[in-house]
Amino acid sequence: MTAARTSAPESAPESAPASTPRPGLRERKKLKTRLAIREATYRLIREQGYEATTVEQIAEAAEVSPSTVFRYFPTKEDIVLTDEFDPLLERELRERPADEPIVESLRHVMRRAVGFVRTEEPEISRLRTKLMIEVPAVRSRMLESMSVTGGILRRAIAERTGRDPGDLEVRTFAMGLIGALTETAAYWAEHDHKDDLAALVDRTLDLLAHGFPEARNSR
């Protein structure tokens, strides 16, 4: 789950409900175009680096016009950051049992998000997170657009807890979660993606649920 968001998934994980309706022809064409743009972007970045890759080059490689690229992705950074889970985030939270602790509901949803990451080629997942921590423009855009996901989380948390989305506690928890998950992704990348991402997410949610563990007495 990253910060810049747009539309429905390009491909669903194996655990997606069987009842999910198949997209219409127009929507499938849009998804095909989005996928072509993203694949072209990743290929060019791997070959020549992020800074050297231009929107014009991406458009040519994807066989679309630069205006089409900008219609799907407002900035080059958005091509890297945009994932396909946010449109499902709110629905996933609403489908969890009403009496389930909110952190456990979030744990379930985050496991689905990790499932989306795993449907990508491992090389692409690694490249995405590497760019998030190494390229200032990508990280800046990610931080700038976190409010989009924050709004989704605030609405869902407020609905589950009977609070107003603008309450301090709701806002703090939602943005704290986003910040924590962002740092989890950064940790994963900084450690060469050696750890299991799902296990890292579980550690993060345990910390949010139970607080920082007390330091052991070294004496």
Q: What is the pLDDT of residues 35-53, one digit of tens each?
A: 899 999 999 999 999 999 9
Question: Residue 197 in contact with residue 114, Cβ under 8 Å?
Answer: yes
Per-residue pLDDT at 192 exceeds 80: yes
User: Would you state the pLDDT for residue 120?
Assistant: 61
User: Would you state the pLDDT for residue 15?
Assistant: 41
User: Would you state the pLDDT for residue 118?
Assistant: 61
Could you tell me the two tokens for 116? 């989306």
Residue with tokens 């950064």: 186
Distance CA 14, CA 143 (A): 30
Distance CA 139, CA 134 (A): 8
Question: Residue 13 in contact with residue 95, Cβ under 8 Å?
Answer: no
User: Would you state the pLDDT for residue 9?
Assistant: 37
What residue type is 56 in one-letter code? E
Residue 138's pLDDT band (boundaries 50, 70, 90)?
very high
Residue 17's pLDDT band (boundaries 50, 70, 90)?
very low
CA dihedral 171, 112, 108, 176 (to 10 degrees): -20
**pTM, full prediction:** 0.70
| Backbone angles phi and psi of 83, in degrees to 5 | -115, -175
Residue 14's pLDDT band (boundaries 50, 70, 90)?
very low
Condensed to tens digits (0 to 9), the pLDDT of residues 73-126 reads 999 999 988 766 666 777 888 888 888 888 888 888 888 777 766 666 677 878
Which of 188, 50, 43 is closest to 121 using CA atoms?
43
Looking at the chain, the whole-number percentage of residues with pLDDT higher than 90 is 32
What residue type is 109 in one-letter code? V
Could you tell me the two tokens for 38? 């993203």
Question: Residue 119 in contact with residue 13, Cβ under 8 Å?
Answer: yes
Residue with tokens 């709110």: 90
Q: Which residues are within 8 A (CB) of 204 and not within 5 positions of it... i.e. 6 or more apart?
A: 180, 181, 183, 184
End-to-end CA distance of the chain: 42
Instruction: Give domain limits for the chain.
Output: 25-210
Condensed to tens digits (0 to 9), the pLDDT of residues 161-176 reads 889 999 999 999 999 9
Distance CA 141, CA 3 (A): 8
Mean pLDDT, rounded, for 5-28: 51
Backbone CA torsion sign across 70, 75, 81, 86: negative
* CATH placement of domain 25-210: 1.10.357.10
User: Would you state the pLDDT for residue 136?
Assistant: 93
Could you tell me the two tokens for 98? 């009403």
